[in-house]
Amino acid sequence: MGKRSTTVMAAVALACAMGVLTPGAAYAAPTQPAPPTTADRGTDLEQVRAQLDRLYHDAAVATEAYNAAEEKAQKQSGQIVELAKDIVKGQQKLDRLKARAGAAARQQYRDGGIPPGAQLMLSDDPSRFLDGADRLRQGQHATKGLMGELTRTQQDLQTYAQDAERNWQKLEAGRVAKAKAKKKIKSKIAAAEKLESRLEKKERERLKELELQAEYKRQTAWLSSGALKDVSGSASARGKKAVAFATAQIGKPYVWGAEGPGSYDCSGLTSQAWSAAGRPIPRTSQEQWKQLRHVGVKDMRPGDLIIYHDDASHVGMYIGDGAIVHAPRPGRNVTIAGAGSMAILGVVRPDA
């Protein structure tokens, strides 16, 4: 048994001991909690659960928007640095060219200010005339080349400056977008935490049971549909490394915008797992969905990423047996869950 299998089985065994997995089958649900009673305020708690789902979903959308803005900012900052280097080099080249042009002007002054062509015409020595004509031709070519190079260098500097300005504008727009996303994330999480804080301990426990029950219902429906009937793909070498990394993070808290090593958000976990496997991928779940190769559910294999919800706002890594490892939401830790416990948008393969 390989290292990845040992890691996954250890995690599964732990989950079984906690009543999260049903051993000996594809990933199933925990034992269904007892039906809510009037004392449990079941109906009210179900409404609370639905409201929390919406708030945390909105927070997830904002988190991915923040992550995208952060990724763009890093790219634009790098471009600005490179443009700044180009501007410095261009300015140094322009200074050298101007120095050469100045030297030529000073030489002409020392020759009495008489243009080389006029000096040539005053010569009555045929051989000197021919030598001078050749030097004059060469000098004209050199002067023309110098002036052309000066013009091109000035144009390059202008282009660099314009590109830098555009990148600064994009960087500023990204800063505004990032600040807006951050504000939305905090407001949605604060609203969710405020809602949960109003519940008594027993109600919070019951709420968690309701969350598990909802996941179980979706996972059961997914399994019953025959989604896993033809799934038999084996992980690639890199896929095994990605799964090993991701499952090793089980138990670490979800923190929005985090990429490890102590905490992760959903796409932070998957991007870092594949980076550790030697295959860098986009930072956000939306870009992972856009840029990576799509594969059918029946063709998926451990290491593939399952993208969730119509807006591609969540991602988990398939680890086999109908299960994923993912960073769920604020207040939860990296964990194993049913691959069908959320609405699947599709599957992508980083190492296609």
Would you name the residues annotated as active-site residues?
Answer: 266, 314, 326
What whole-number distance in Å separates Cα of residue 210 and Cα of residue 214? 6
Tokens (6 digits) for 73: 């900012």
Q: Which two tokens stand for residue 34?
A: 């007892």
Rounded Cα distance between 3 and 240, Å, is 9
Structure-token pair, residue 200: 């008594």
Those residues with Cβ within 8 angstroms of residue 177's Cβ, 6 or more apart along the chain or in another chain: 65, 69
Query: Cα–Cα distance between 327 and 57 in angstroms, integer?
Result: 13
Do the beta carbons of residue 303 and residue 240 sit within 8 Å?
Answer: yes
SS (H, E, C) 199-231: CCHHHHHHHHHHHHHHHHHHHHHHHHCCCCCCC
Angle 39-40-44 (CA atoms, 0-180°, nearest 5)?
A: 115
Q: What φ, ψ does residue 176 adopt, rounded to 5°?
A: -65, -45
Q: How far apart are CA 167 and CA 79, in angstroms?
A: 8
Q: Work out the burial of residue 254: count CB atoms within 10 Å of its CB; fewer than 13 is exposed, 13-18 middle, 19 or more buried.
A: buried
